[in-house]
Amino acid sequence: MRQIILDTETTGLEPSEGHRIIEIGCVELISRRPSNNRYQQYLNPEREIDQGAIEVHGITNEQLAGKPKFADIAQSLLDFIEGAELIIHNAPFDLGFLNSELSRMAKANGGKAVRIEDVSTVVDTLKLARGLHPGQKNDLDSLCKRYNVDNSHRTLHGALLDAEILADVYLAMTGGQAALFEDTHSHLKSATTSHVAATSDIRRLDPKRPKLPVIAPSVEELAAHADWLDELDMKSGGKCVWKKLELTS
DSSP 8-state code for residue 201: P
Query: What are the residues facing 41 on neighbouring strands?
Result: 24
Separation between Cα atoms, residue 20 and residue 101, nearest integer Å = 7
Q: Please choose, from the candidates 91, 57, 68, the residue with its C-alpha nearest in 3D space to the C-alpha of residue 159.
A: 57
What's the start-to-end Cα distance of the chain, in Å? 39
Neighbouring-strand partners of residue 26: 6, 39
For residue 157, indicate whether it is catalytic.
yes
Burial of 69 (0-12, 13-18, 19+ CB in 10 A): middle
Q: Which of 17, 18, 25, 26 is nearest to 43 (CA)?
A: 25
23, 41 contact by CB (below 8 A): yes
Catalytic option among 133, 157, 185, 187: 157
Catalytic center residues: 157
